[in-house]
Amino acid sequence: MRRRWQVIAACVLALVIPGATGAVGTANAADDCAGMTWTVRDNQWGADPVLVGADDSTNAYEGDTPCDAPLPVLCLEKAGLPLPAGVVPDFYAGWTGGRAKLTPPVPGYALYSRAAADGLCAAQFGAGYRMGEHHDGDGGWGWWALGDLLRTWVAIDDQRANPWDTTTGNAMTWTMVTKEWGRDLVDFSSDVKTDAYAGDTAVTTRLPVLCLRQDGRAAPDGIPFDFYNGWAAGEVGLTPPVRGTALTSRATADALCAARFGAGYRMGEHHDGGGGWGWWAAGDVGRFWVAIDDQPANPWD
């Protein structure tokens, strides 16, 4: 098993880090290897402050996700930025003064050391970026940073704002604005960046596709649904980032979702909540690798 993951790690890092060649080390290749993960917990509507942190799936002491799972790495650049309006930090959700980004998915085995993880972030986003750490908000368990981490391609049936029928070279995008802490319920929505009529993001951009499988499940309690933010009666998933130009038709986008998540999945659409502009669905999306300095819950230890 160790030799197999040496090869995989080398291939992954050669793809994402320019100039990476030759053999590299690996994380612990034991069958029980696990790493700690966080998720996006909140995102200010119409702005870029994003709260990332632990949820009820996180195990900060032993790890919670097998190392063969392909997940993005949470990267952070601490830049001394001022506290944005509307963000109220506390010990468990502090302000980093930085910018956060996500790499493309990599298996935890590719993160064979903290230096390798930091190097992946720097190679992707530039000097100053490194893997985010549990205590970067000065407390623990969560922190705020600037970053629109979960912007996605989403379809719209009654406008020419899709990658395959745009007349402007831009296509419509949504973002995840809320995740119910402790429940796998997420709210994807338009925001002030969204243009449902002419598109808002160049189709040469790489973004995940928002995928939905509607199975008619009942709406959960405690969610304030309305016409503009309804219940989609299904489960969502996010593909790895793809250029909008690769989505040459709705059928192509739907097939990408089905290939990634299984039969019944298709690209999510603007009106899937019954009205438009946003909808809730089930799904544990936006999960990623994050480091912790004082526990052996990283893929490499």
- Could you read off the pLDDT of 211-268 as tens digits, one per residue? 999 999 999 999 989 999 999 999 999 999 999 999 999 999 999 999 999 999 999 9
Sorting pLDDT into bands at 50, 70 and 90, what band is 165? very high
pLDDT of amino acid 264: 98
Q: Distance between CA 40 and CA 87 in Å, rounded?
A: 15
Say whether pLDDT at 16 is over 90.
no
- Top pLDDT among 117 and 47 is at 117
Between vectors from CA 75 to CA 71 and to CA 79, what angle results, nearest 5°? Answer: 165
Q: How distant, in Å, are the alpha carbons of 44, 284, 291 from that of 244?
A: 25, 24, 31
- Top pLDDT among 18 and 27 is at 27
pLDDT of amino acid 270: 98
Say whether pLDDT at 171 is over 70.
yes
Question: What mean pLDDT is predicted for residues 179-208?
Answer: 94
pLDDT of amino acid 182: 81
Say whether pLDDT at 79 is over 80.
yes
pLDDT of amino acid 83: 95
pLDDT of amino acid 31: 66
Q: Distance between CA 247 and CA 258 in Å, rounded?
A: 14
Burial class (CB in 10 A: 0-12, 13-18, 19+), 242: middle
Q: How distant, in Å, are the alpha carbons of 55, 137, 200, 282, 286 from that of 203?
A: 33, 35, 9, 28, 22
pLDDT of amino acid 47: 75
Residues 6+ apart with CB under 8 A from 225: 219, 231, 273, 280
- Could you read off the pLDDT of 264-287 as tens digits, one per residue? 999 999 999 999 999 999 998 889
pTM: 0.85
Average pLDDT, the chain: 90
pLDDT of amino acid 17: 41
Q: Distance between CA 238 and CA 125 in Å, rounded?
A: 21
DSSP per position, 74-105: EEEEE--PPPPTT---BTTBEEEEEEEEEPPP
Which residue shows structure tokens 């993880």? Answer: 117
pLDDT of amino acid 15: 42
Percent of the chain with pLDDT over 90: 83
Nearest CA to 124 out of 63, 175, 76, 70 is that of 76
Nearest CA to 152 out of 176, 185, 169 is that of 176
Strand spans (E) along 3-43: 34-35, 37-43
- Could you read off the pLDDT of 104-140 as tens digits, one per residue? 999 999 999 999 999 999 999 999 999 999 999 999 9
pLDDT of amino acid 29: 52
Is the Cβ–Cβ distance between 223 and 252 less than 8 Å?
Answer: no
